[in-house]
């Protein structure tokens, strides 16, 4: 095997390893963000709606839309929606109610 072909083969193998590592790293990051957002949420059975919005490093946040049930007795299990912002620099999550994004429904 000639040197250029060997180099190309080595670079291809390295590229595949870097890509797999990056996919694993992103999956771990997404899992950490979701766990932090759910913990910060006041909703019962909170789950993400869609996928997270990844802002670039100039902004420094990842946004996650969550939906679940309000835990307060007077809310009778009504569905609520919250927007979670996860700050990459401090690894902290904050949430705010955002029911106006979609109509809330009550469980049957």
Please write down the HEC assignment for all residues of the chain: CCHHHHHHHHHHHHHHHHHHHHHHHHHHHHHHHHHHHHHHCCCEEEEECCCCEECCCCCCEEEEEEEEECCCHHHCCCEEEEEEEEECCCCEEEEEECHHHCCCCCCC
* pLDDT value of position 3: 53
Mean pLDDT for 59-82 is: 95
Q: What is the pLDDT of residue 17?
A: 43
- What's the whole-number mean pLDDT along residues 16-42? 85
Provide the pLDDT confidence category of residue 9 given band limits of 50, 70 and 90. Answer: very low
pLDDT at position 14 is: 41
Is the pLDDT at 18 greater than 70? The verdict is: no
Segment 13-42 shows an average pLDDT of: 81
Q: Which two tokens stand for residue 95?
A: 């949430």
Domain boundaries of the chain, sorted by first residue: 3-101
Question: What confidence tier does 103 reach under pLDDT thresholds 50, 70, 90?
Answer: low
Give how far the C-alpha of residue 52 lies from the chain's centroid of Cα atoms, to the nearest Å.
Answer: 4
Distance CA 87, CA 59 (A): 9
Phi, psi of 42 (to 5 degrees): -95, 5
> Structure pTM?
0.73
């Amino acid at each position: 095997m000639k040197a250029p072909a060997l180099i190309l083969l080595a670079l291809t193998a390295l590229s595949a390893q870097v890509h797999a590592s990056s996919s694993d790293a992103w999956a771990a990051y997404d899992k950490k963000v979701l766990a932090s957002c759910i913990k910060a949420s006041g909703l019962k059975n909170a789950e993400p709606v869609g996928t997270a919005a990844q802002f670039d490093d100039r902004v420094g946040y990842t946004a996650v839309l969550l939906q679940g049930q309000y835990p307060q007795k007077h809310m009778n299990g009504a569905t609520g929606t919250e927007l979670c912002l996860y700050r990459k620099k401090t690894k902290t999550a904050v949430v705010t109610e955002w029911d106006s994004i979609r109509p809330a429904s009550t469980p049957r």
